[in-house]
Structure 1
Amino acid sequence: MKFLQKYFLFLIGTALFFSCNKENKTAEAISKVQVDFEVVRFDRLFADASSNDISELKASYPYLFPKQYSDSVWEAKLTDTLQIELEDEVDKAFKSFDEETEGITSLFRHFKYYFPGFYAPKVITVISDVNYNDRVILADSLLLLGLDNYLGREHHFYAGLPNYVSKGLDKAYLTSNIASALAKKVNKYPRNRSFLSRMIYYGKELYLIDKLLPNSEDYQKVGYTREELEWSQINEEQIWRYFVEQELLYSTDSRLDRRFLDPAPFSKFGLELDSESPGRLGRYMGWQIVKAFMNKNPNITPVQLLSLPADDIFKKSNYKPKR
């Protein structure tokens, strides 16, 4: 018996050694990936501009000046009190953008490691009038960041917003929001209309973000608070039992998106625990299924994962919720 115990411990130790060694080699390879991109603090350029500078700014950044607006609109915006206050608050929060640039550089390196054809976009910071639905816009060779959406959940600009929205308006989520935008470019939305396929679609996205941001906290990746992630982990078995007992996995009821996948103040089980739960628990559960699958299939790359059918991932994951 003692021999078997020692042998079992030896096997575990050997597996851990090779796993750590593989991770170290991957991290070393990623650190050598070269990415070249420019960060333009357009929010500051506009804040420091005068009416005489508008023509030059439009020539340099035409995509930031919709043609239906005349120069007089932009000239008026230069002296608008709300615009000036937004610029001042952003300047306080992002006096230096060095830390954020370092995080974005690491993110781009990881993405290019897994997707070698990737070319890093030009990063342009803007004031978006707290347009939180478009806080990150990734379009071809441009990445626009609305920095006024990252001033902290308690900021007075967000006083009228629902709590489930304002909690994510913090710089702690900036890099994970960019990672999500990148992931959406390579992760195709499923044609299969089942709840399970949509869960695993988001699970793939979150697993890819795991790989792109290995040093970030899990709550940041999924857009939760620490407390919400802890609640999800504690109640994972109950959530899964509900999904199975209510026969939701293969349902094509589109209302399940609003209940468990779309941004919301809480998930909608129709139970007393609803008000305690975070929204988007279907995404969280999809993440756990994908992680279980990848743990059992370590030779499958993140790129290969993206092309696998949801049903295959689910069946081969042998997913068992945490107790």
Structure 2
Amino acid sequence: MKIYRFAVVLCLFFLSCDQKSKVEKAVEEIPVDIKVERFDKVFFETKPEDLAKVKRQYPFFFPPGNDDAVWLNKMQDPIWKEVYTEVQKKYGNFEPVREQFNALFQHVKYYFPKTKTPKVITVISEMDYNAKAIYADSLVIVALELYLGKDHKFYQFPNYLKQNFEEKQIMPDVVSSFAYRNIPPSADKTLLSQMIFEGKQLYAKDLLLPDYTDAEKMGYTPEQIKWCEENENYMWRYFLEKEMLYSPDPKLNTRFIAPAPFSKFYLELDNESPGRVGGWIGWQIVRSYMKNNNVTLPELLKTDAKEIFEKSKYKPKK
């Protein structure tokens, strides 16, 4: 009997691998050639007297109402010029990242065939960690000053933010922005709905970034992923016992969904926990739903959170 079970498991494993290889082979056949424009280079290497030319070429980066003095000051500011120098040291050759974009958008076009191949524009923005990489239909805008490496001297941010200021986080950040644009807004503001909303964009990374680890997809360290795996059952019981899942209390978003140094159970384990554990649980619910239902990725993003939960058959690992 044991030999029989082993044989069945082995067959299922090879079938799964074969199915995955079929998908990846199909993905590799999709023609994608991402074009990159280095606006950061254009801006900081332009002479002040030629600013008008840059504004005509990239009008969307120069909103009306700002005096030219704002841009001229940035062009000539020693600190921003140093930032540009550091960006050039790291990304003087952008080809390896462009190849990552090609691979990503081959996957995007496999699952979303009507998606346009976007142009990638690199910028040096204002150190806004909420807008590191933005997908906007025909454009992807990447703020390179926020991908210099978590230990870079420029970063005066808390560690839970800095740990994602790595080159390896560019693609996960782009997928998050892409997924958020493809998930319809919901009037349901319960904790469960927000958990599944986050779970959807994380599951998109499972398919669009298949070679990335769970830690890289989530923006966690390997130790933080391990903590979630070891405490999954405990966290789930906590949400159930405190009757939080269907609560619309906005404080729950701050405690369990929003970026934070740790999650707030108001227990001793808080200091050991990573932030955003609600999103991680939502991810496991969505994974269970996709395992138990024949649904495409575009269909998943549009499916109601309540339906996903009810059909997920989710059971936390003990």
1:107 Cα deviation from its structure 2 partner: 1.0
- Aligned 8 A contact 2:261 2:275 in 1: yes
1:166-217 CA-to-partner distances (Å, cap 9, x unmatched) read: 2221212111000111111111233222211211111111101110100112
The residue aligned with 1:120 is 117
Q: How do 1:178-197 and structure 2 match up within 5 A?
A: 178-197=174-193
SS at match of 1:137: strand
1:306 Cα deviation from its structure 2 partner: 2.1
The residue aligned with 1:55 is 52
Letter in 2 for 1:220: E
Give yes or no for the alignment of 1:67 onto 2:64.
Answer: yes
Q: Distance in 2 between matches of 1:69 and 1:252?
A: 40
- Aligned 8 A contact 1:180 1:205 in 2: yes
Find 2:296's aligned residue among 292, 295, 301: 301
1:142-180 CA-to-partner distances (Å, cap 9, x unmatched) read: 221110011111212112x22222222121211100011
The residue aligned with 2:88 is 91
Q: Distance in 2 between matches of 1:307 and 1:139?
A: 19
SS at match of 1:26: helix
Q: Distance in 2 between matches of 1:72 and 1:258?
A: 39
Find 2:315's aligned residue among 308, 320, 323: 320
The residue aligned with 2:16 is 19
Q: Identity across aligned pairs (percent)?
A: 43
Find 2:35's aligned residue among 27, 35, 38: 38
1:56-93 CA-to-partner distances (Å, cap 9, x unmatched) read: 21111111122223334323322210111110111112
SS at match of 1:109: helix
- Aligned 8 A contact 2:116 2:137 in 1: no
1:113 Cα deviation from its structure 2 partner: 0.8
Deviates more, 1:300-309 or 1:200-209: 300-309
SS at match of 2:154: helix
The residue aligned with 1:311 is 306
Find 2:281's aligned residue among 257, 282, 285: 285
Deviates more, 1:48-57 or 1:85-94: 48-57
Q: How do 1:103-182 and structure 2 match up within 5 A?
A: 103-159=100-156, 161-182=157-178
SS at match of 1:123: strand
1:12-55 CA-to-partner distances (Å, cap 9, x unmatched) read: 22222222111111101111112243101111112221123212
Letter in 1 for 2:56: A
Letter in 2 for 1:293: Y
Relative to 1, partners in 2 of residues 1:139 and 1:307: Cα closer, same or farther, differing over 3 Å?
closer
Aligned CA-pair RMSD: 1.6
Letter in 2 for 1:103: Q
Q: Distance in 2 between matches of 1:76 and 1:193?
A: 43
- Normalised TM-score (structure 1): 0.93
- Normalised TM-score (structure 2): 0.95
- Aligned 8 A contact 2:175 2:201 in 1: no
Letter in 2 for 1:42: F
Give yes or no for the alignment of 1:276 onto 2:272.
Answer: yes
- Aligned 8 A contact 2:34 2:101 in 1: no
- Aligned 8 A contact 1:197 1:311 in 2: yes
Deviates more, 1:222-231 or 1:205-214: 222-231
SS at match of 1:138: strand
For structure 1, list consecutive stretches of 5 or more residues without a partner in the other structure.
Answer: none
SS at match of 2:135: strand
1:258 Cα deviation from its structure 2 partner: 0.8
Q: Distance in 2 between matches of 1:237 and 1:7?
A: 31
Letter in 1 for 2:298: V
The residue aligned with 2:202 is 206
Count of residue pairs the alignment pairs up: 318
1:110-133 CA-to-partner distances (Å, cap 9, x unmatched) read: 111111110022111011131211
